[in-house]
Structure formats: C-alpha cells, structure tokens
C-alpha cells in the first residue's frame, strides 16, 4: 500500500524498534509511548479499519491475538497488558493501517478520558 507509514515500517523502508515478526504480523515500539511499555501489533496485510476487514484478515488478526500470550516473556508483559484498537476520529486514530496497541508496565487507570 503506497504512502502507508506502517507498510513502510514493515517493509523496512522506515526504521522501527522491532520486537517480533512472523509471516503475518510485525510488533514494534510506539514512537510516542503512552505507558512504560507500548508496542504496536500490526497485521502485515494492509487494511485501514475493522469495517473493511475480510474474513481472511479477520482470521489473521485472530491468529495474532492467539500468538500474543506466547510473547509475554519477550515483551515483558507478565504482569498484564491492555490492548486497544483506535477506530475513527473520536478514538483518535491517526494511522490507517489496522493495529493493536499493547500497553503495559504499570497499573493502568480504567477510564481512558
């Protein structure tokens, strides 16, 4: 996908702090962390929003989520973590390649306001 920041990061055209990669996903450190540990889990196949997600992409996203518990040691998530998908303007989505934020490293307040 042309002009997609995360496609460029996955392709290695823009540098990132990679934490994990397999055939279907790429996990790297958020450049502007909102918690002591803040990663982005990005399915490699580009799509912007859940509304556009195909059955195949849904299966891939499910596999990414299923894989995450096996990566807790690597990512330092043993004490728990929060997953967030920002969708659209009210949520503040800024990058239109679907991604899951992984936040960890402190006890987090529940209210996102």
Q: Which residues bind ligand AMP (CB under 6 A)?
A: 5, 14, 16, 30-32, 40, 86, 92-95
What tokens appear for 71 in the block?
A: 């990566």
**Which of 98, 89, 102, 75 lies closest to 6, judged by CA?**
98
**Which of 90, 88, 86, 70 lies closest to 78, judged by CA?**
70
Between 60 and 77, name the residue whose CB sits nearer to Zn ion: 60
Between 46 and 82, name the residue whose CB sits nearer to Zn ion: 46
Q: How far is the CB of 36 from Zn ion (least distance, A)?
A: 27
Q: How far is the CB of 22 from ligand AMP (least distance, A)?
A: 19
Q: Is 46 in the site for Zn ion (CB under 5 A)?
A: yes
Q: How far is the CB of 87 from ligand AMP (least distance, A)?
A: 9
Between 1 and 5, name the residue whose CB sits nearer to ligand AMP: 5
Give phi and psi for 40, each to the nearest 5: -120, 125
Classify 89 in phi/psi space as left (phi over 0), alpha (psi -120 to 50) or beta: alpha
Catalytic residue at 46? no
What tokens appear for 18 in the block?
A: 């990679």
**Residues with catalytic annotation?**
99
């Amino acid at each position: 996908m042309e002009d997609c920041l995360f496609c460029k990061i996955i392709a290695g055209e823009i540098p990132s702090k990679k934490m994990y990669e397999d055939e279907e996903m790429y996990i790297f450190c958020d450049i502007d962390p909102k918690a002591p540990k803040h990663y982005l889990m990005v399915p490699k196949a580009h799509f912007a929003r859940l509304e556009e997600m195909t059955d195949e992409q849904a299966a891939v996203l499910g596999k990414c989520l299923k894989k995450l518990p096996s990566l807790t040691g690597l990512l330092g998530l043993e004490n728990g973590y929060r997953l967030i998908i920002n969708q659209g303007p009210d949520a503040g989505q800024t990058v239109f390649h679907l991604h899951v934020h992984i936040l960890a490293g402190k006890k987090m307040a529940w209210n996102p306001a």
